[in-house]
Structure 1
Amino acid sequence: MDRQQDKKEFPVAFSSDIDFLKEVRTAVLENLKCSPITSTSEVSYGRLPDQRPMRRVFPRGREHLISLMSKRDTLYFVGFIGFTKDADELDENIKEDIWNIDNKLVEQLSGHSNIVGYFSAERLDGHNWGNLVVCKSSDAINEWMTSKTHTTAITQLSPRYYSLVRIHSGHLQDGLCGEVGVLKTIFLDYGTPQPTRSVVYWDT
């Protein structure tokens, strides 16, 4: 079932989601300061300040994102926050399937001209990960989320792996360093016999 709600104030209950996305963003900014500027696709690995692992994907190299940062143009983002099911609820192959489709999504990023960064990191619970996707336009968000591979992940794999998912999207005023403004959240609840999907638009 799909439900849509009118605009309301973004709740404090989800502030930890945004704190995580900001933490990932800060780690990316720090890495951009000290690493060589590249103009080709790059996948690299690192750690957050407290040593949690992270992955950085620059589909068109670091130079593309750095040039956008210098212009301070508004960028757009998608933040994925998922909560995995208990171990006894997971089928034997789901973890492998999840990583395989994630790798496929990364491989296809170069085909999305308006996606400039895809960053993943372990969250504070030490069990779940989250993703931050940075785009040049809001249209890129729809292009990304309606791609065949992403649709497969959401419809076929997520119900097997997650109990709950929150997908926040919005804008970064003044570029990657700017304020994180959440415009919309998609809620996917797989903890019921009939999974539910709801969309909430937030006041900004």
Structure 2
Amino acid sequence: MSSYNDLSKYYGDFQFLKEMKTVAFEEILRMKAECKDPDFWNSQVKRGFHTETDDGRDMRVILPNGFRAVSDLLPKTESLEPKELHNLEKGVTDNLSRKEIHFVGFVGTKLDASLSRKDVVNEMIGLDNVLVTELAEIDGMLAYVSGERVKGGDYTNLVLFRDRGVAEELLKSSNHGKAVNALAPEVFSDVHIHSGVLQDGLTSSFFVLRRTIFLCFTVPPEDPRRRRVQMWRACRKESDVVKVLPRPPLPDSLLLGLGSQDGPLVKLDQCFTFDVVRLGSQHHHHLHTVVHRG
């Protein structure tokens, strides 16, 4: 099995994405407890605010459409006791909203400083700020979280939104296209872009993963390893370039063997992989079926 199909290799991605989600949720809870007016924090949360983890790593939380946009995802009661916050990590969410939301996690590894151009890095930072502004113009965008995986090291981005159509709107942005296609290869050695669903909203204890895009910028553009797409769930969607045939979903007991004694961190039903090899205007696809049994 290709290492691209081995999600255990990317377990650290989801450990950190879950940490980012938890930090954002706890900060939103704190704001709710400090002021009941959902519009009180709007100017601050739309610009974004910084917080730190216990070990001093930087986290930035942005609510592009304001505090009110996430208010229905918060607990039904006025506040959560410490015990309930503990239960949240255990997946016990009786007192919490379970509205399904969607996520995209961008996990990149930067090039060594000696290989990257400072002007391009600065341009990427500036473009990131422009994209944050554009997020506020997309209805259904909930939160944008950015954080350090290690102190002074690589950053990861987590975007939360109400439905898949929101992500499609973001992809229409010319600035987004420039960041991914022109600047990212000059800044990162590789990138993983995970997308899927948080079935219980902000309180979800695991990620339901649908697709991962693997970008490896250390190989030539014509190399098939440059871009690989993995579909982690069977779907019925057809297009002119690929057709994914569904099979009966696996039972819930067959979960990917990741996580801790408290349960899985990533859950999937079925795994389909197809490699996209770009040769001029032609696309060649190789479809493989892989079932993970934890």
Equivalent pair of 2:99/2:201 in contact (CA under 8 Å)? yes
Equivalent pair of 1:42/1:61 in contact (CA under 8 Å)? no
Distance in 1 between the 2:142 and 2:11 partners?
Answer: 25
Query: Which residue is 1:5 aligned to?
Result: none
- For residue 64 of structure 2, the aligned residue among 59, 64, 81 is 59
Aligned-partner residue type, residue 199 of structure 2:
Q
Residues paired across the two proteins, number: 197
Equivalent pair of 1:24/1:48 in contact (CA under 8 Å)? no
Cα distance, 1:160–1:192 mapped onto 2, change above 3 Å = same
Deviations 1:147-196 (A, max 9, x none): 21111100110011011000000000021111311110011110013261
Query: Which residue is 1:194 aligned to?
Result: 221
More helix by share: 1
Query: Which residue is 2:180 aligned to?
Result: 154
Distance in 1 between the 2:171 and 2:16 partners?
Answer: 21
Distance in 2 between the 1:88 and 1:21 partners?
Answer: 28
**Which structure is richer in relative contact order (CA contacts within 8 A, separation 6 or more)?**
1
> Percent identity, aligned pairs only?
30
Query: Which residue is 2:292 aligned to?
Result: none
Query: Which residue is 1:26 aligned to?
Result: 22
Instruction: State whether structure 2 residue 113 is matched by structure 1 residue 117.
Output: no
Distance in 2 between the 1:162 and 1:191 partners?
Answer: 9
Q: Please state whether the residue corresponding to 2:139 is helix, strand or coil.
A: coil
Cα distance, 1:42–1:87 mapped onto 2, change above 3 Å = closer
**Displacement of 1:48 after TM fit?**
1.8
Distance in 2 between the 1:185 and 1:152 partners?
Answer: 20
Equivalent pair of 2:145/2:159 in contact (CA under 8 Å)? yes
Query: Which residue is 1:16 aligned to?
Result: 12
- For residue 208 of structure 2, the aligned residue among 178, 181, 188 is 181
**Displacement of 1:62 after TM fit?**
2.0
Aligned-partner residue type, residue 193 of structure 1:
P
Query: Which residue is 1:127 aligned to?
Result: 153
Q: Please state whether the residue corresponding to 1:90 is helix, strand or coil.
A: coil
Deviations 1:61-116 (A, max 9, x none): 12221213454211000000001111111123012101100000011111111111
Alignment of 1:62-101 (within 5 A): 62-69=67-74, 71-101=97-127
TM-score (norm 1): 0.89
**Displacement of 1:13 after TM fit?**
1.0
Q: Please state whether the residue corresponding to 2:202 is helix, strand or coil.
A: coil
**Displacement of 1:49 after TM fit?**
2.5
Name stretches of at least 5 consecutive residues in structure 2 with no aligned partner.
76-96, 234-267, 269-294
Equivalent pair of 2:57/2:151 in contact (CA under 8 Å)? no
Task: Provide the alpha-carbon RMSD of the alignment.
Answer: 1.9
Distance in 2 between the 1:46 and 1:125 partners?
Answer: 13
Which ranges of 4 or more aligned residues in structure 1 deviate by more than 4 Å? none
Name stretches of at least 5 consecutive residues in structure 1 with no aligned partner.
1-7
Instruction: State whether structure 2 residue 134 is matched by structure 1 residue 108.
Output: yes
Equivalent pair of 1:164/1:188 in contact (CA under 8 Å)? yes
More strand by share: 1
